[in-house]
Structure 1
Amino acid sequence: MRILVITESFLPHMNGVTNSVLRVVDHFAGQGDDLEIIAPQWPHADRFWRTSGGRRVRVHRVASVPLAGYTDVRIAAASATGLRRRIADFAPDVIHLASPTILGGRAVVAAQKAGVPTVAVYQTDIPGYTAKYGMPFLEAASWQLLKDVHNRATVNLAPSTATRDQLAAHGVERLALWRRGVDTSLFSPSLRSARLRARYAEADEKLVVYVGRLAPEKQVADLQVIHDTPGVRLLVVGDGPERDALRRAMPRARFAGFRSGTDLAAHLASADLFIHPGELETFGQTIQEAMASGLPVIAPRRGGPVDLVTPSRTGWLYTPGMLDELRDHAADLLFDDAKRLAFGRAALDSVRKRTWPVLAEQLRGHYATAIARHADVHQRTVR
């Protein structure tokens, strides 16, 4: 196939959207497909990305500006006309829209005019973010924007059953389920390191880890209830606008900053328990990575984690906002070694077959569905 990927986020900024794009592009390039990427401009950003197999994938950068108050997020300002020219130049069989909002919204209009099928991948709960950033009055408008964008797409993919149902309730059509893969060759219990662990915790302490952005929507401040538990050390891996405030609020916690690759995998494997307190996760990629590292997981009973965590087997889900439940579930696992290890083994077993190659080929199937559906609509229009 010839696949054009249009993404709201890309390197050098690494987040869930960027990671998914990199994984699927790497897989398809390795299978011989032709790909190009359209992404927001960053200062000194590369015009090509080299895959693990050595292929160079062209990255077209479009003008963008940083989001006020969160400069890691860029808002692209490309026109539908300019995007249509890019589409015509590459002549793709299908267009992959990664977390479409502003750039993706213009791209899906351009794709319609160019007569190219689109697959829109929903990843970011923007309506939910508006409340976390003090703008709840924008929630309804955000849902209307997402509905308008996605209902122009040929196929819409949701990462979890809860998210699929939420999108359907807000009027989004032509929905299917597509989850995310995990690199089980990278994330593994074999990377557990006593030396690394000793850097963050005393020998008699249990180590609880969180991995993700330090931003309001992740609710990292909720981990205060873990920070204050005797005999427990909290390890926070990641960076973001709330870093300094979190350091002040949780002085006993260890802050490791942004980590990636084998370094990140070793940090996960060296902990005892993974907790993700964010209630706006459409999927929960770091949850899968923790499970592949042999850790049980605690997360809110909302959104993506509901599909990933099996209570009383691979971890616990707690009622959103009920931090006493979070604390009690953590104590249940941290101070019962046999139960924690059993949950960790079950967590690892649950993700063994969720590799990126498997998920990428599922995505290829959704591309084929979009192409066939588009051809069928075109034939009926001609008749």
Structure 2
Amino acid sequence: MRIVDVNEFYSPTGGGVRTYLDRKMTIMAEMGHELIVIAPGRENRVEERLDGGKVIWVRSPPLVFDFNYRMFFFEAPIHALLDELDPDIVETSSPWRPGWIIGNWQGRAPKIFFAHNDNVGAYPMRWFESFACPGDVESAFGWYTRYMGRFLAKFDAFVTNGPALAKRHAARGLTVHASMPLGIQRGFFSPDHRDEALRRSLLEQLDLPEHGHLLLGLGRHHPEKRWPMVIDAVETAGQDLPVGMIMIGQGVHSRQLEKRIAGSPHIRMYRPVYERPRLARIMASCDALIHGSDAEPFGLVGLEAIASGLPLVAPDEGGLFELADPHIAETYRARDARSAAAAIRRLFARDPAILKAAGRHAASKVRTDVDHVEDLIAYYQSLIDGAPASIWVA
């Protein structure tokens, strides 16, 4: 099977979608299939991958508000590439130009809209939350759901990357044909990578004793991640608990966040760690992952943390909430720093031995990226074979 993914979210500088697609490319090659990504880039070029698959970069203009990403504009070059590649399945995940570019393509392959995000949850819900309730915001942006419905009518199936997105889109009246939860490369992440010497070193950098609590905040520095709220929560919990946080990531709000934590002795920011083994060791050496985004579509970082044996502190909305098993997680009211601080206190008030055992058990049950790709290929094969795009939950 040859899948071509026309993906506006595939960035040269990384990100969750790129991580997902790079790994998917490798797994598919190992299964005897092929994934080709068509992505917007600085110039037209082809990047062959040694382990199978390739990326075709199409010269495209940058996003004015985030130069890590670019956007497709013209339809003809994409259609020409698709005609030449003659895929068995075509995917896209952007509701902007690619939604229409792929929708209008007249090739033989089933066309899949694979949702990786929720623009209403990530943006308007956050912009207007101070003076409008979620229901009112949903009503005001009903035009966006109708807009999605128009280009989705040109597709053969609407697939989401997990239950959180499926529930949101279905609640708006859109038909989601399949929910395909993501998975992680479990071999990289394990509780066995815990390094007590590294943990002590990190606590020392946070000016905390060895019996202190080490939280991990991992992800890009973007408003939807709600890092200021997370920082407020950690500082509030730190008033009566020896707790600190290391933040690993970068993004459009890195400078603002650096200024925000300048006076916080127990919070430090570090640049992204791209070496997976090193990141796995850092994750396993922390005491919990804390997350702030209530608009998280799935939350691969949460799955990686669980695979590393970490418990979660997560909001009660979004992708991480779907992963937050009460045995290994404490949840809080989304967007509420005081509630998040209380969740931190509750987590570290638990019996450490029981929490550690629960974490190890959860790590052994984490869904893998191979599981995800196998389910996806099976579903796509059913579409190729002519089966109707009926509801499918992996």
Q: What SS does the corresponding residue of 1:76 show, helix, strand or coil?
A: coil
Q: What SS does the corresponding residue of 2:90 show, helix, strand or coil?
A: strand
- Aligned twin of 2:234: 226
- Aligned 8 A contact 2:158 2:176 in 1: yes
- Aligned twin of 1:127: 120
Query: 1:187–1:149: structure 2 CA closer, same or farther, 3 Å change rule?
Result: farther
Query: What TM-score, normalized to structure 1?
Result: 0.88
- Aligned twin of 2:223: 216
Q: What SS does the corresponding residue of 2:297 show, helix, strand or coil?
A: coil
- Aligned 8 A contact 1:78 1:106 in 2: no
In the aligned structure 2, how far is the partner of 1:163 from the partner of 1:213? 20
Matches within 5 A, 1:355-374: 355-373=368-386
- Aligned twin of 1:179: 181
Matches within 5 A, 1:15-26: 15-26=15-26
Given the alignment, which residue of 261, 266, 282 partners 1:267? 282
1:142-164 per-position Cα deviation (integer Å, ceiling 9, x unaligned): 43443333332211112232321
1:59-113 per-position Cα deviation (integer Å, ceiling 9, x unaligned): 222232222222222222231x33222111111111122x2223421332243x2
Deviation at 1:133, TM superposition (A): 7.2
- Aligned twin of 2:49: 50
Residue 247 (structure 1) aligned with residue 247 (structure 2): no
1:191-213 per-position Cα deviation (integer Å, ceiling 9, x unaligned): 22233323321323210001111
Q: What SS does the corresponding residue of 1:114 show, helix, strand or coil?
A: coil
- Aligned twin of 1:32: 32
- Aligned 8 A contact 2:314 2:331 in 1: yes
- Aligned twin of 2:195: 193
- Aligned twin of 1:96: 91
In the aligned structure 1, how far is the partner of 2:159 from the partner of 2:99? 15
Matches within 5 A, 1:144-155: 144-155=146-157
In the aligned structure 2, how far is the partner of 1:11 from the partner of 1:163? 22
In the aligned structure 2, how far is the partner of 1:20 from the partner of 1:47? 19
Deviation at 1:134, TM superposition (A): 4.3
1:148-191 per-position Cα deviation (integer Å, ceiling 9, x unaligned): 33332211112232321221232322521101011110011122
- Name stretches of at least 5 consecutive residues in structure 1 with no aligned partner: 377-383
- Aligned 8 A contact 2:12 2:68 in 1: no
Given the alignment, which residue of 58, 61, 83 partners 1:62? 58
AA aligned to 2:340 is L
1:233-291 per-position Cα deviation (integer Å, ceiling 9, x unaligned): 11101111211222222233111211121121111111001111111011111000000
1:126-147 per-position Cα deviation (integer Å, ceiling 9, x unaligned): 1223237748999445434433
In the aligned structure 2, how far is the partner of 1:150 from the partner of 1:259? 37
* Identical pairs, percent: 24
- Name stretches of at least 5 consecutive residues in structure 2 with no aligned partner: 130-136, 205-209, 390-394
Query: 1:68–1:48: structure 2 CA closer, same or farther, 3 Å change rule?
Result: same
- Aligned twin of 1:106: 100
AA aligned to 2:14 is M
In the aligned structure 2, how far is the partner of 1:302 from the partner of 1:293? 23
AA aligned to 1:129 is A
- Aligned twin of 1:10: 10
- Aligned twin of 1:379: none
In the aligned structure 2, how far is the partner of 1:328 from the partner of 1:338? 21
Query: What TM-score, normalized to structure 2?
Result: 0.85
Q: What SS does the corresponding residue of 1:234 show, helix, strand or coil?
A: strand
Aligned residues: 366
- Aligned twin of 1:164: 166
Matches within 5 A, 1:294-305: 294-305=309-320
- Aligned 8 A contact 1:163 1:282 in 2: yes
Query: 1:7–1:191: structure 2 CA closer, same or farther, 3 Å change rule?
Result: same
AA aligned to 1:323 is A
CA RMSD of aligned residues (A): 2.4
In the aligned structure 2, how far is the partner of 1:255 from the partner of 1:33? 40
Deviation at 1:333, TM superposition (A): 2.0
- Aligned 8 A contact 1:119 1:366 in 2: no
Deviation at 1:375, TM superposition (A): 8.9
Deviation at 1:301, TM superposition (A): 1.2
Query: 1:156–1:373: structure 2 CA closer, same or farther, 3 Å change rule?
Result: farther
AA aligned to 1:277 is G
AA aligned to 1:247 is E
